[in-house]
Structure 1
Amino acid sequence: MDWRTRIVIRKAEKGLAPEDGDGEFEWFLFGGILGDDPPRDRTSELRVLGFPTRHLGPVQMTTDTALGVTKKVVHDKIPLDKIPYVDFPTICFNPKESVEMPFRYIADEKNEPILPLGMRKLLHEDLNKSFDF
């Protein structure tokens, strides 16, 4: 199966919602973000202990994106389905160099992914690395 068509198995029944920021939760623990394929379900330890769970949607996102989405939902009161996303964006550096990111990102007003500071430069530098055996 193509990696683009895989749906992340969500163990949490409920998605994160704006009302989750109204005092129900004091802390948010993130697990399964940038996880393995197949998933190892590392958050099962929290479920076994009875912690309430929420998911952030069906597409895997980077940790910084998950934090940004959580802030938008619980602090800014924006529902998960109202946040603009871009899935699997291609970051172009010039007409001959680009990299496709296999994650979901929050989209800016130009529908470009919001990347952490320095990430674009790091990705471009990584294009010049090779496997030396």
Structure 2
Amino acid sequence: MSKSSSKTYIVEHLDEELGAWSELEYLAIARETQESRGSFLLSSLPPVFKVPESLAKIPAFRAETRGVEDLYAQDKSRVCLLDPAASKDLSPEDGEIFDVFLFGGILGDDPPRDRTSELRKKGFEGRRLGSKQMTTDTAVRVTRMVIEEKIPLERIPYLDFPELNFDEHESTQMPFRYVKGADGKPIMPEGMVELIKKDADKAIDDLF
């Protein structure tokens, strides 16, 4: 696999609906993938799933009702499953081995549901992104930094469980690991802080 080949990032969505949180995450993934000239797929989509127009108009994005095991039935060795239970961490060298990176459902669940286990059983080779739970867009962002920018996992600047301050009286702590931006704040999808503030009285789980 040549270093210059474009990469494909796949999230197995599985749910019939798309929550506001997931929509913002997927938009962030699609835009960043577009910038890196890669492809972003949502796979295993139920037939009734409605793709938002904002997502559908990004050229890098594709919606698929087929699962990854069908899409890559002939060539599983191309696919890397990002798996918290894998024995090896993702490394820049993996960009020479894999060109498809698979994320098993909603990574941002707190506590996490092990939807990845089904994909593990289907024989996809796994890599870890460390021990801390990440949102889906963060997991894809970190994978891209390692694979495309060749930054080792341990050298990526992280913010763990950051506190978002909405005003002097109101704040919330996020139960995830994020990439730290140049401004020192967690990199989050456009509109996410506003969504969390608006729904501050809801459990984070309800926003997916």
Range into which the TM-score falls when normalised by the shorter chain: 0.7 to 0.9
Equivalent residue in structure 2 for 1:117, among 185, 190, 193: 190
CA distance in 1, matches of 2:162, 2:110: 20
Partner of 2:127: 54
User: Does the 8 A contact of 2:160 with 2:176 survive in 1?
Assistant: yes
CA distance in 2, matches of 1:91, 1:36: 17
Q: CA deviation at 1:12?
A: 0.2
Secondary structure class of the residue paired with 2:126:
coil
Note closer, same or farther for the CA distance 1:29–1:19 as it changes in structure 2 (3 Å cut).
same
Q: Alpha-carbon deviations, 1:84-110, whole Å to 9, x = none?
A: 000000001111111110000000134
Partner of 1:31: 104
- Structure 1: 4+ residue segments shifted above 3 A: none
Q: CA deviation at 1:35?
A: 3.9
1:86-101 matches, cutoff 5 A: 86-101=159-174
Match for 2:89: what amino acid? G
Q: CA deviation at 1:45?
A: 2.3
Equivalent residue in structure 1 for 2:114, among 22, 37, 41: 41
Q: CA deviation at 1:40?
A: 4.6
Instruction: Give percent identity, aligned residues only.
Output: 54
RMSD: 2.2
TM-score by length of 1: 0.80
**Number of aligned residue pairs:** 120
Q: CA deviation at 1:111?
A: 2.7
Partner of 2:31: none
Partner of 2:90: 16
Secondary structure class of the residue paired with 1:91:
strand
Secondary structure class of the residue paired with 1:112:
coil
Secondary structure class of the residue paired with 2:197:
helix
User: Does the 8 A contact of 2:104 with 2:119 survive in 1?
Assistant: no
Q: CA deviation at 1:126?
A: 1.1
User: What are structure 2's unaligned runs of at least 5 residues?
Assistant: 1-82, 203-208
Note closer, same or farther for the CA distance 1:27–1:95 as it changes in structure 2 (3 Å cut).
same
CA distance in 2, matches of 1:20, 1:128: 42
Secondary structure class of the residue paired with 1:29:
strand
More strand per residue: 2
TM-score by length of 2: 0.53
Q: CA deviation at 1:15?
A: 0.7
User: What are structure 1's unaligned runs of at least 5 residues?
Assistant: 1-8
More helix per residue: 2
